[in-house]
Structure 1
């Protein structure tokens, strides 16, 4: 189960502070309580803020909320034990109430959700010395990893005082031109965490690596609890992942809740049809139609287009036999590699690679709509699920039109989008993938481009279920016609409002299975045994219903009215409504309120992006003396209490100061610098040579998954004689060539494994027909190379 709310993820929204503008962060304590029951994870997040300044303050922060999570409540806890419950109001009214409360000397908390994936929280008018305790509640459905339930908690924390521009998530780059990002290990506040997992069937296995939890499993194995050790000062700097296994991990489930005399249900199951001795990897290799849509606009010139071409080669070589493919390149116009789907065979792949290698960034502007529209104009083959992989580094003038086009065709194709560089439209990348049921990725370090593409492709190689139909007397959300493709291993989830009675018939789901090329039917048991306390299923249904309304075709006035009505009725925030909670102070807070925007902590599970110099204050320019090589990205610190300003900033205020320092560098140092530059150039040429060998090996693999040893031995300049124990096998040249190629890749390019993992899997599948001990044989090939 993925706890996707990013409940610690307080995102940066303030500029780089000036040297004289140093303020203590007011977050003093943070606690998270997670409870898992009946395929739902309910979380309570407590934050304690204290104003240790001499004037009233207002805190503001942002944190992301995943698509499948819903915020279910917000509260203020008073020192005397009183709990103030927030109400849902239309955004304009909530803002008025918030401003009125502050002007009257009271304290208030308000949220705002401009987009479904993030929420802005304002905590207004905290008096000097005063403390305020805020509680948020979240709910998210269960996710799975293979045969395990998975609880994943991203820990983007918010302590104080370190700016790291080379670690800022790419999606934040477009929001502000300057950032405040802090190091999770520099936390000055306390953190508490507890996890309680309740299961209807015994928990047979569980794991949580790295983190200092104390785990307790009940005697009947139905309850697993974890706590941070007493007095522990550990601060997580990467996501916390807990895996646990039960007998019903893969069973269909219909959980039911009752609220005000009505019922709601959550239908959930894991589509996974494998034979008794089949491994998950055996299921990969689903034939399909794979379309690589690559940006060739002018801004892609240089390293970007070269690495995009490398990604295209790895993409082509990773496709499964029996598939069809095509490549569409675009700029101001677009070109197909060939008309219609291209059969996946060695000859066609070689021709495609030769064409791709000639690509240049010479097609003008960025028009994504037309190539996508051209793709959608051709109906897909139901037996070959269509997947689109979009690579772009730019923005378009009509992002909403592009997203709507993808959404309208989401049943016929999955869209994965990869944004390259810091100028890319984050709205376009995130929303196009969301509309197409795919995964958005952002790439700043261009060497990661191929990895991102292959990771997206990996999911598409699993069989999938599509064309959903629901036979049940219920009001589902999302509607079956809006359900996207569900791959084997991904959990299917559907929410349904049942009205005043639970239907007597069981919910029946029908869909098309691409693996068997047949229609499948699932009947899910619903009944009193699966009753779950609370009303979270109602709230999850309402959130999904609001999402459907927002993207529907109703008049805007009708949409707004329905969204506000659902939001208020079920107590969840939306783009038109906000939480508002007011604490009436016994003594009015007086004084000018100072805004304090809470920074974000960088942790290892956040996406990374470099910040371009253009994103910094224009008056700041990196000094040549302070510049660092790319391999050692510069870290710029906002001064902590024990460091001075001049020691921490790697920037100067004027160009002339940098010029003076440059002129004062002694000649010997300049000579050393020139020598280092020459060494760098030699190393870069060696890297280029290694890259050419690497790609040469990949290109030699056949579409079926084997290598010819005769061809490979010439490329690697190794002995041409096949060892005796392999020489008499049928297809000995191909078998030994494949073993040597895999051995060479493992031995020399292990760090690139994420790029060629699908190439390897295809080869191992091919080797299985030869009945040789594969891993043992690869080891012998490694010895041969040594």
Structure 2
């Protein structure tokens, strides 16, 4: 079943009352503890179901429940064994708690609170560990997911946990409190968020320990994002953590574990050069939900509109001589050209005209088929394939998609973009990981263009390849790598490497080292990092747990490979998961509280706890002949759709999307300028260009320097305008400008200095010739 629209649940009182979250950030990793308060206010025993999102790279490492004054700590068991124990406990009248990972997607969990008696309260606590992703500005991103989009499930396919996701009103009936403690080897410069925060409190004089909290009254109707800024972020670090004293020596949890943070700085000369070759394939989500706003603020742009602007920018930024194609997908897919075509003025104009007509009109979200078509195309010799995927949706078959990308990992690099609240972290990060690329998330009031251009810079630069490590430890010790091999690494991208240190440390001042070698643009580079083998204090086994998670995920991915011993790999995952007390695809957390032993009479009442959802109504439309959107009590009305071909959307305040789309938009002069550039990099002298500058064509032509072609003059003016008025958006137009500079250089202009001087005077700027790159 595909859930349609927004459900009010008026007749189902919500048993979840509050969520309290405590976060401990240590450098690049975070340990997150969430406590959920339940209360059964009904007259019968009930079973509460809560399906909720979690970061894709997170793993649960603790689960407990407190009823009255008694705490029950859950154990990790093989999944089917845990489910049977849960069912038996409920049938016997015992109180039971089950926490399990979705079989379809690693970023969705289901919490089952079973046989909660009338008037009974329970507090459920789960703890997970996760790595923090690095943003383009070197900030570390922590995200507490709140929005859970319904997964689009095509007709005739099965559904597991994710099929239980329902859309609910934005008036979430439980509260959220969140406190974050941050400690770092490097000073903390600032902590930012799109959600209101209390002032940052520094807890020591060197600013390496701080505390920050979410302001009271926050509505948990959107993801909570924090951006942590450290000084000296590119400095490589190594943290050694002591093992669990209760674990056996020689096991992962009993031995020392080291985490290496590798964040290489590459030579500026290499980074300033870009490739002029490549096949660029842009895969754009055109499902109905792309007609939703980018955020819930005033004058928010529609997602499909932002996507169109971004594609325009990408098309104008491609180098002459490369190849490209554009795919749109929903329930079906289409491509602009049968095969990738060479980038010329003619093909660029054809693509731009079709991009302008793109709409969110292709139904649900099925990305597998277009990807299969992309990979079925023959690669173009000497033009490495770069795939850019844009989606706001959720899919039910992430593991099948990852398997396909893994099979084609040697033929392409994949850059992914999650658009809007609730985009699946598992899907976005997983595709980028399997495709050897980079993932970005565009949420809140973020502009899509800067993040996409950052990824284009990665795609146009040589990546680090042939990465190897050599570990050196004292005699009597050895190392075992726990994380999967790193295949590629880009400038501004960080890699965390985990290794188990076996054997006894000779002395407290013993040292180890790791030498990392790689190739960059056919040059061999070597970096060596020494570190103390004395374990860090107060780490709480977080490094061990992340290392165990890395090894578990590697084994799970290996299971998807043809010809492997799947049962042996599953047994190893279960063994490691139980040893480390970590969640996995083959295990679940189970806790049982023995009660009177009286069997339950009659069926339990079942209550689904609402999670805020951005409904992919287009996916629902695939199965529904009639769609009714039930608004919350405070809405301005109800919207109906009796024709499956027509869909009306409403945002959380109840305003029809038609109304939002009719709001006036501010003219983007930067995009206007870029849209007028030719594929070669030049601009033509015409009234449309002069309108961007606030001048007339007659004024510009009259000031043309002697012996200067009109195209050269127009292109110089465009470069001066960009540098003089749009420096704050330089990341968006950097490749456009590079093409223009290259074109001007090829024209052999004799009086370029005079052009710059007159151009500054005409536009009222003071941009120097060397700033223009000329």
Q: Please indicate, yes or no, whether the TM-score normalized by the shorter chain is above 0.5.
A: yes
Other-structure match for 1:571: 581
1:350 has 2:345 as partner: yes
Compute the displacement of 1:537 (Å). Answer: 2.4
**Deviation digits for residues 140-197 of structure 1, max 9, x if unmatched?**
224444665424233517xxxxxxxxxx7364676559832232xx344343222111
Q: Quick check: 1:391–1:419 contact (8 Å CA) kept in 2?
A: yes
Match of 2:196 in 1: 211
Q: Contact (CA 8 Å) 2:415, 2:437: kept in 1 or not?
A: yes
The CA deviation at 1:314 is 3.4
Alignment partner of 1:486: what SS?
coil
Which residues of 2 match residues 492-571 of structure 1 at below 5 A? 492-501=495-504, 505-514=512-521, 517-529=522-534, 531-532=536-537, 533-552=539-558, 553=561, 554-571=564-581
For the residues of structure 2 that align with 1:22 and 1:62, how far apart are their CA atoms? 19
Q: Does 1:735 align with 2:711?
A: no
Whole-angstrom distance in 2 between the partners of 1:433 and 1:298: 21
Kept in 1, the 8 Å contact 2:56–2:425? The answer is: no
Instruction: Give the C-alpha shift of residue 106 in structure 1.
Output: 1.5
Separation (CA, whole Å) in 1 of partners of 2:232 and 2:441 = 36
Equivalent-residue separation in structure 1 for 2:742 and 2:220 (angstroms)? 42
User: Which whole-Å CA distance do the structure 1 matches of 2:519 and 2:275 have between them?
Assistant: 14
For the residue of structure 1 that corresponds to 2:697, the secondary structure is coil
- Bigger shift: residues 36-45 or 98-107: 36-45
CA–CA distance in structure 2, aligned partners of residues 296 and 35 of structure 1 = 36
- How far residue 570 of structure 1 moved from its aligned partner, in angstroms, is 1.4
Q: Does residue 636 of structure 1 match 2:630?
A: yes
Instruction: Tell me what 1:9 maps to.
Output: none
Task: Say whether the 8 Å CA contact 1:441–1:452 is kept in structure 2.
Answer: yes
Q: Does 1:118 align with 2:92?
A: no
1:268 partnered with 2:261: yes
Q: Aligned residue for 1:225?
A: 210
Change (3 A) 1:462 1:126: farther
Mapped to 2, the partners of 1:357 and 1:202 lie a distance apart of: 47
Q: Does 1:76 align with 2:65?
A: yes
**Closer, same or farther: CA 507–443 of 1 in aligned 2, 3 Å:** closer
Q: 1:131, CA displacement in angstroms?
A: 0.9
C-alpha contact (below 8 Å) 2:47/2:605 kept by paired residues:
yes
Whole-angstrom CA distance in 2 between matches of 1:109 and 1:387: 45
Shifted more, 238-247 versus 94-103: the winner is 238-247
Q: What is the CA-CA distance between 1:58 and the residue it aligns to?
A: 1.1
2:123 to 128, 133, 136: 133
Contact kept in structure 1, 2:511 and 2:532, CA below 8 Å? no
Contact 1:709/1:720, CA 8 A, preserved across alignment: no
Helix, strand or coil for the counterpart of 2:617?
Answer: coil
Segment of structure 1 superposing worse, 555-564 or 428-437: 428-437
Measure the CA separation in 2 of the matches of 1:129 and 1:519.
68
Aligned-residue offset at 1:719: 2.2
Decide whether the 8 Å contact of 1:69 with 1:139 is kept in 2: yes
Could you tell me how far 1:122 is from its partner in structure 2?
0.9
DSSP 3-state at the match of 1:524: strand
Aligned position for 2:149: 169
Q: Which residue is 1:474 aligned to?
A: 479
Q: Is 2:83 aligned against 1:90? A: no
Pick closer, same or farther for the CA change 1:564–1:468 going to 2, 3 Å.
same
Change beyond 3 A, Cα 1:529–1:216: farther
1:154 maps to what in 2? 144
1:670: which partner in 2? Answer: none
User: How has the CA–CA distance of structure 1 residues 154 and 66 changed in structure 2, closer, same or farther, with 3 Å as cutoff?
Assistant: closer
Change (3 A) 1:408 1:227: same
- CA distance in structure 1 between the aligned counterparts of 2:758 and 2:516, rounded to whole angstroms: 41
Per the TM alignment, residue 765 of structure 1 is displaced from its structure 2 partner at its CA by 7.6
Q: C-alpha offsets along residues 323-344 of structure 1, whole Å, 9 cap, x if unaligned?
A: 7333377979983244xxx5xx
Q: How has the CA–CA distance of structure 1 residues 589 and 703 changed in structure 2, closer, same or farther, with 3 Å as cutoff?
A: same
- What is the CA–CA distance in structure 2 between the aligned matches of 1:546 and 1:743, rounded to whole Å? 52
1:695-723 deviations in whole A, cap 9, x for unaligned?
Answer: 88535425575534458658989324339
Q: Render the CA deviation track for 1:67-123: whole Å, top value 9, x for unaligned.
A: 33221111123432x432211111111011101111121111112221322211111
Which residue in 2 is equivalent to 1:6? Answer: none
Does the 8 Å contact 1:213/1:226 carry over to 2?
no
CA distance in 2, matches of 1:204, 1:61: 37
SS of residue paired to 2:84: helix
Task: Supply the distance in 1 between the matched residues of 2:20 and 2:553 (Cα, whole angstroms).
Answer: 30
Q: Secondary structure at the match of 2:377?
A: helix
| Greater Cα offset, 148-157 or 34-43 | 148-157
TM-score with structure 2 length normalisation? 0.71
Partner of 1:182: 169
Shift of 1:33: 0.9
The structural deviation recorded for 1:48 is 0.9
What does the per-residue CA deviation read over 1:249-307, in whole Å, with 9 as the maximum and x for residues that have no partner? 221112122323312221112223466xx9x9x859565624225689999xx999999
Q: How far off is 1:208 after superposition?
A: 5.0
2:607 to 596, 607, 614: 596
**Is the CA contact (8 Å cut-off) linking 2:91 and 2:600 kept in structure 1?**
no
CA distance in 2, matches of 1:76, 1:398: 32
Corresponding residue SS for 1:522: strand
Cα drift, residue 132 of structure 1 = 0.8
What TM-score results when the alignment is normalised by the length of structure 1?
Answer: 0.70
- Aligned partners of 1:509 and 1:522 also within 8 Å: yes
Please give the secondary structure, in 2, of the residue aligned with 1:336.
coil
Number of aligned residue pairs: give it: 675
Query: Which segment drifts farther, 483-492 or 49-58?
Result: 483-492
* Superposition deviation, residue 137 in structure 1: 0.9
Deviation string 1:758-783 (CA, Å, 9 cap, x unpaired) is: 5666479879998979998897379x
- SS, match of residue 474 in structure 1: strand
Which residue in 1 is equivalent to 2:375? 372
Residue 22 of structure 2 corresponds to residue 22 of structure 1: no
Structural mapping, 1:242-391, within 5 Å: 242-259=226-243, 260=247, 261=249, 262-273=255-266, 289-292=278-281, 313-319=312-318, 321=319, 324-327=322-325, 335-338=338-341, 342=342, 348-356=343-351, 368-375=371-378, 386-390=385-389
Kindly state the Cα deviation for residue 402 of structure 1 after the two structures are TM-superposed.
6.2
Take 2:138 and 2:731, find their aligned partners in 1: how far apart are those partners? 26
Work out the CA distance in 2 between the residues paired with 1:248 and 1:745: 29
**SS of residue paired to 1:93:** helix
2:697 pairs with one of 703, 708, 719: 719
* RMSD of aligned Cα (Å): 5.5
